[in-house]
Homo-oligomer: A and B are copies of this chain.
Amino acid sequence: MTQFQPHDSSRPRLGVLGGMGPLAGASFAVRIVQLTAASKDQDHIPVILVNDPDIPDRSTAHFGQGDSPLPAMIRGLHTLESTGVDCIAIPCNTAHLWFEELHQASSKPILHIVDAVIHDLQRQQTLQGTIGLLGTPATLKTRLYQNRLESAGYKPIIPTQTEIQELLVPAIAAVKANRVDKAYAPMMHAIDLLRERGAESIVLGCTELPLAIPYSQRSKVGIPLSDSIDALAREAIRWINQQEALTQAVH
């Protein structure tokens, strides 16, 4: 509280396209703060969050049962760009099914959540082996994670169709409806089933899922977890810090 810095508008800023769901978007902003090494306000990262809950549902759109989320997501990206952000994070795994279109529509780099999770597995020293993957029906079916995990040397396994519909879908819907407590038991059941089938680590590959496991409970789960909210937050902090170091090196 005793050091002062002038407002430096050249500091790199992170843009967050959130609202998918809204709790994931806002919690991502919290995790950016909590995972930053800081001793005062001014050590933290400037963040602009567009938490737009009106973006049409990504899973239903993917299965041809609802409006495409793409126009609303692109509007959100353009809003973020207009505020001067330098890089964009999208804390929603299913939104990454449109990653190429979003990347094309944006003048700023967009971090990829699956790359962030792979970096997080490496950070946790999980360098190979069987990875149990939880996510929405759309991300699991389209192999959003599986192809990249295999390229990186992992063996991904996923729940059965019945388990996805009876455990993951209700858990995700409960978080979106502010009933986080109702998501815990089905998600734990899904994790246990994957562990019985050989998973050595679990990827929480939908940003609703980490919200259902309190941080104080994580060490008791009995298997390492890679949380896609935290993984993307760490990736964003690293990007901003690198960019800031580069900017300072130039000046």
- A residues adjacent to B (C-beta < 8 A): 1-2, 4-9, 11, 19-23, 25-27, 29-30, 32-34, 36-57, 59-60, 66-67, 71-72, 75, 79, 82-84, 169, 173, 176-178
Contact indicator A56/B4 (Cβ below 8 Å): yes
Q: For residue A172, which residue of chain B has the nearest CB?
A: B1
Q: For residue A28, which residue of chain B has the nearest CB?
A: B26
Contact indicator A173/B19 (Cβ below 8 Å): no
Q: For residue A21, which residue of chain B has the nearest CB?
A: B41
Contact indicator A5/B39 (Cβ below 8 Å): no
A-B contact pairs, 10 of them (CB 8 A): A2-B60, A6-B67, A7-B75, A9-B75, A20-B41, A21-B41, A23-B33, A33-B178, A36-B178, A41-B55
Contact indicator B54/A11 (Cβ below 8 Å): yes
Task: Provide the bound-state CA to CA distance between A9 and B54, in Å.
Answer: 9
- Total identical chains: 2
Residues of B within 8 A of A26 (CB): 26, 29-30, 32-33, 47, 49
Contact indicator A39/B177 (Cβ below 8 Å): yes
Task: Provide the bound-state CA to CA distance between A7 and B169, in Å.
Answer: 23
Residues of B within 8 A of A67 (CB): 4, 6-7
Residues of B within 8 A of A30 (CB): 23, 26-27, 29-30
Residues of B within 8 A of A11 (CB): 54
Task: Provide the bound-state CA to CA distance between A84 and B40, in Å.
Answer: 31
Task: Provide the bound-state CA to CA distance between A155 and B59, in Å.
Answer: 54
Task: Provide the bound-state CA to CA distance between A30 and B82, in Å.
Answer: 24
Contact of A177 among B40, B53, B54 (CB under 8 A): B40
Contact indicator A48/B51 (Cβ below 8 Å): yes
A8, A39, A40, A178: most-surrounded residue (chain B CB, <10 A): A178
Contact of A60 among B1, B9, B43 (CB under 8 A): B1
Q: For residue A79, which residue of chain B has the nearest CB?
A: B83
Task: Provide the bound-state CA to CA distance between A41 and B206, in Å.
Answer: 14
